[in-house]
Amino acid sequence: RKFLGYINHKRIQATNRNCEVTADVRHDGSEPLVDVMFADGERLIMKGANLTTIEMLTALGSRCNAKEIKEEQKSKKKSP
């Protein structure tokens, strides 16, 4: 719940207008799970029972940074 609260904060949402957050809250006793689907089709699945909010935010941030670096490298190769 804390992770969702941080991700849905208006300042965080303002940093990426293309980011869409959808919550599927279940009350069936299943393990908390965060499933992130990136625009390129890659997924990041984090099991909330084993991670703290900070660990989840760090994992998401590192994956986003890695994708950003990868895109920058691709654009540098394309430009002469």
Q: Name all domains of the chain by residue range, CATH numbers in brackets.
A: 1-60 (3.40.30.10)
Specify the pTM.
0.76
- Report d(CA 28, CA 58) in Å as an integer: 28
pLDDT at 73 over 90: no
How do residues 16-63 score in pLDDT, each as one tens digit?
A: 777 788 888 888 888 888 888 888 889 999 998 889 999 999 999 899
What pLDDT score was predicted for residue 50?
85
